[in-house]
Amino acid sequence: MKKALPVGIENFEDMRTNGYYYVDKTLFIKELLELKGKVNLFTRPRRFGKTLNLSMLRYFFEDTGDAGKNAQNKSLFQGLKIMEEGESYTRFMGQFPVMNLTLKSAKQEDFETAYYMIQKGIAVEFERHRGVVEQGKAKLAMKDYEGYLSIAEERAEEKEIRNSLLLFSRCMYQVTGKNTVILLDEYDVPLENAYFRGFYDKMVDFIRSLFESVLKTNDYLQFAVLTGCLRISRESIFTGLNHLKIVSVLDKKYSEHFGFTGPEVLQMMEYYGVGSRFSTMKEWYDGYVFGDTEVYNPWSAINFTSDLWADGNAFPRPYWVNTSSNDIIREMAARAGREAMGQIERLLDGGTLDIQVHGEITYGDMHSNGENLWNFLYFTGYLTKESEYFKESTVCLRARIPNIEVKTIYQSTIMGLLKDRIKKENFHSLYRAMEEGDAVRMGEILTGQLFHTISFYDSAENFYHGFLAGILSQSENYTVKSNRESGNGRSDIMVKSPSLRGRSFILELKVSGSIDSLEEDAEKALQQIYDKKYMEELQAEGYKKIDCYGVAFYRKDCEVRFGNRQCVP
């Protein structure tokens, strides 16, 4: 029987004891021990294995205070790469108290709820180690012991929570004589959420206090590992933390430990007998470059392999879209001026964009200039590195959209914004022009709308069809029927009055290959209505007044042709 695919499995013990397929990333431990970073921040996009890797670190390094449990944890690593590296690495197994805290639950609607979720997560970790504290109670000052219980039992005030991680490591040292390993997962989730929810400054102040107490001058810290998407400015969060090592997607160190490499993906697919679909996997989910290593999105690779295992002909889907916040894309598209719109369109058309890398940024800086926005998109996985170069003492990137999956996220987000904007506008002049047979005016109005819209051309027919159908559907006097999905010899769009005595319209769309063929293609679209007798469907319903339009698009230009004869038998 094949091993189960670990869709959504983020706990290392669960992964290993329940027989899931595991892509071995344990050499991350070796590199961490060799480079000896005191406080290490790893920035990677969402769903690239950060939580699972931190869980792996916990089970490797943690001294649970129970010899049997420590032996059980050690057995989780049997047969994995780290065990082949020798005693100089394995001697660290089960040696330290470990605080393993995730902040991803802090994505809440207000500060109070977000704070509560962080406090709850801290309390869970305090309670998990409570047995160790109770056994060594005599070694603790009464104030520390009572403070520890207050946090574990969720009775502590905010000022105590701000100092809680330092208290934890001090108590652990006093009881066990060992320094603590601190693992903080998704440290920037509370900050990103707070930025978009409107309580950013309050959350920054809290997170800064929480981190400073444990990471800055903590004599009881063995080492710390933090993960997140973004490199938040030291002035914002890591004030005075001079020993912080930031490892971003630009760094060659640790480049293979987050995400799957090509050989790892192919090996997984061949294990499940679906290796023949590797080219599709590569088109949709490959394309990221961390350091010099080409990386696949592991979440999507696992999900697509799972679907293929069930059905070898399964279609790829944008699995990442529902697991990663697209607020940044949406806000970028909503605020885009003419220059930014052109840059987005170039990227969607398969082009590249040269950007200057900003080492440290804050959410408040996102829209201060275009470079900051592109940096946000790069570090969060919506862009990747085509190449890297050095210019005037600055690192620069030639960036592109990584793959088809991410491109669909841009496109669906942009179409969603387009629909929202269309709903707010008045298109009475367009409907009047259509009723009066004024093709020139229709073309002018549609062209004007395109000038203010981010367009994409690799799937241009779908874009223009959605664009035009969305505008026409705003009329209170007509219903719109889109036939693009059905095909079968039907026109692209039908617009009709609820009353059979009222007006009805047929619109056929063409996408031109050049500006010079725009008028000819509009004529061809109109002629196609007559040649294929698209009007017969409306006639069969009982409509008598049927007007026909051929519409051609080329990028931001539109040409409309009105039938000089009514579409009647």
Q: For residues 300 and 308, is the Cβ–Cβ distance under 8 A?
A: no
Q: Which domain holds residue 181?
A: 26-61+69-247
Q: Are residues 176 and 206 in the same domain?
A: yes
Residue 2 maps to a domain: no
Instruction: Quote the pLDDT of residue 2.
Output: 93
The 10s digit of each residue's pLDDT in 354-372 is 998 876 666 666 666 667 7
Instruction: Quote the pLDDT of residue 569.
Output: 45
Q: Which of 361, 382, 408 represents a domain boundary (last residue)?
A: 408
Instruction: Quote the pLDDT of residue 486.
Output: 39
Residue 277 maps to a domain: yes
Instruction: Quote the pLDDT of residue 272.
Output: 97
Cα 534 to Cα 473, 488, 492, 520, distances in angstroms: 20, 11, 9, 20
* Phi, psi for residue 509 in degrees, rounded to 5: -110, 145
Q: Are residues 282 and 401 in the same domain?
A: no
Residue 7 maps to a domain: no
Nearest to 332 by CA among 378, 400, 299, 296: 378
| Distance (Å, whole) CA 469 – CA 482 | 7
Q: Are residues 142 and 225 in the same domain?
A: yes
More confident residue, 121 or 325: 121
Q: For residues 279 and 317, is the Cβ–Cβ distance under 8 A?
A: no
Q: Are residues 535 and 440 in the same domain?
A: yes
Residue 317 maps to a domain: no
With a pLDDT cut of 90, the percent of the chain lying above it is: 67
Q: Are residues 200 and 283 in the same domain?
A: no
Nearest to 480 by CA among 422, 526, 413, 437: 422
- Residue 97 is given by DSSP the state -
Q: Is 60 a residue whose pLDDT tops 60?
A: yes
Q: Which of 218, 247, 276 represents a domain boundary (last residue)?
A: 247
For 171-209, the DSSP string reads HHHHHHS-PEEEEEESTTHHHHHHHHHT-HHHHHHHHHH
Tell me how far apart the terminal alpha carbons of the chain are, to the nearest angstrom: 65
| Distance (Å, whole) CA 429 – CA 369 | 37
Helices (H), 296-366: 298-310, 327-335, 338-348
Residue 420 maps to a domain: no
Residue 99 maps to a domain: yes
Q: Are residues 396 and 499 in the same domain?
A: no
Q: For residues 37 and 223, is the Cβ–Cβ distance under 8 A?
A: yes
In which residue are the tokens 């469907």 written?
A: 537
Residue 178: other Cβ atoms inside 10 A: 15
Provide the 3-class DSSP secondary structure of residue 107.
Answer: coil
| Distance (Å, whole) CA 501 – CA 309 | 55
Q: Are residues 106 and 203 in the same domain?
A: yes
Q: Is 428 a residue whose pLDDT tops 50?
A: yes
Instruction: Quote the pLDDT of residue 224.
Output: 96
- 186 contact partners, CB below 8 Å, separation of at least 6: 50, 51, 102, 103, 104, 227, 228
Q: For residues 227 and 44, is the Cβ–Cβ distance under 8 A?
A: yes
Residue 17 maps to a domain: no
Q: Are residues 264 and 243 in the same domain?
A: no
CATH number where 463 lies: 3.40.1350
314-326 burial: b if 16+ Cβ within 10 Å, else e = bebebbbeeebeb
Instruction: Quote the pLDDT of residue 234.
Output: 47
Q: Are residues 154 and 216 in the same domain?
A: yes
| Distance (Å, whole) CA 307 – CA 305 | 5
Q: Are residues 36 and 184 in the same domain?
A: yes
With a pLDDT cut of 70, the percent of the chain lying above it is: 91
pTM equals 0.82
Q: Half-sphere exposure of 527 toward its Cβ, with a 13 Å CA cutoff?
A: 6
| Distance (Å, whole) CA 286 – CA 322 | 18
Average pLDDT over the chain reads: 90
DSSP run (H or E) holding 43: strand 39-43
Residue 20 maps to a domain: no
DSSP run (H or E) holding 559: strand 557-562
Q: Are residues 49 and 89 in the same domain?
A: yes
Cα 298 to Cα 9, 28, 58, 282, distances in angstroms: 12, 16, 21, 12
Task: Report the number of distinct structural domains present in the chain.
Answer: 4
Q: Are residues 370 and 240 in the same domain?
A: no
